[in-house]
Amino acid sequence: MWVLKLKVPAKKQVLGPLVVKHKISIASYILSYYKDQKNIFLIGAGFMFGEKKNKKSFIRDIKKQPWLVNYENRGDFGIIVIKEPLFTEAFWNPKIIQINPIIINHNSKMHVWSFASFDRKLLEKAFEFAEKYLDAKMVKFKEEKISNISFTKLLPEITKNQKEALELAINNGYYDYPKKIKMEKLAKMMKISYSTYQAHLKKAESKILPEIYKKL
């Protein structure tokens, strides 16, 4: 297949400005779309990452946007339908597949989009659109065999407390080398005892790490 990898500025993405404004991150997929005579309607799904208060304000803001058609979430997982002009259909051709989630991090100004198709010309048109309307830059465009496709069901389900413990650890540099924070401080941030926090984090790690290894 032909693989196209782009870097797209956050400010040019529909959700990008809101992600930056509310200091969260999201990982999402476009699942499908439909259209009428004027607009194309994209159906997407994904996860939010960040502080609880920031995610709540992000959701409130989404519901005020003129391009929103439908939105629902359960915890950090959401499904959304957004409206775009019909000319954007060139980019969302069903013969083009999304091979990685679009990850928008509020700390980054550019984000990577990765697509593939058996039809080179379709990807060329997609790039022309992205370059013109999204200020996208090409990172890669080549023919290669794809060894894997990442989907949102990459990780096993973990409890709310396990997820919060893991998010705190990741966002505060617990897994950095050298560590930027100790587990005792993370427990205080979560307002639970050290032993309880440690249990939540270890259980989350024990569920997630084996699943990641299987996919390597």
The reply to whether 36 and 106 lie within a common domain is: yes
**pLDDT top residue among 170 and 199:** 199
Q: How large is the angle between the packed helices 160-171 and 194-214, nearest 10 degrees?
A: 90
Burial 13-27 (b: 16+ CB within 10 A, else e): bbbbebbbebebbbb
The reply to whether 70 and 122 lie within a common domain is: yes
How far apart CA 102 and CA 47 sit, in angstroms, is 11
Confidence of residue 154 (pLDDT cuts 50, 70, 90): very low
Does some domain include residue 65? Answer: yes
pLDDT above 60 for 152: no
The reply to whether 122 and 26 lie within a common domain is: yes
| Per-residue pLDDT tens over the stretch 18-76 | 999 998 888 888 889 999 989 999 999 988 888 889 999 999 999 999 999 999 998 88
The reply to whether 133 and 186 lie within a common domain is: no
Query: Rounded to two decimals, what is the model's pTM?
Result: 0.71
The reply to whether 50 and 123 lie within a common domain is: yes
Domain tally for the chain?
2
Q: Which domain holds residue 128?
A: 2-143
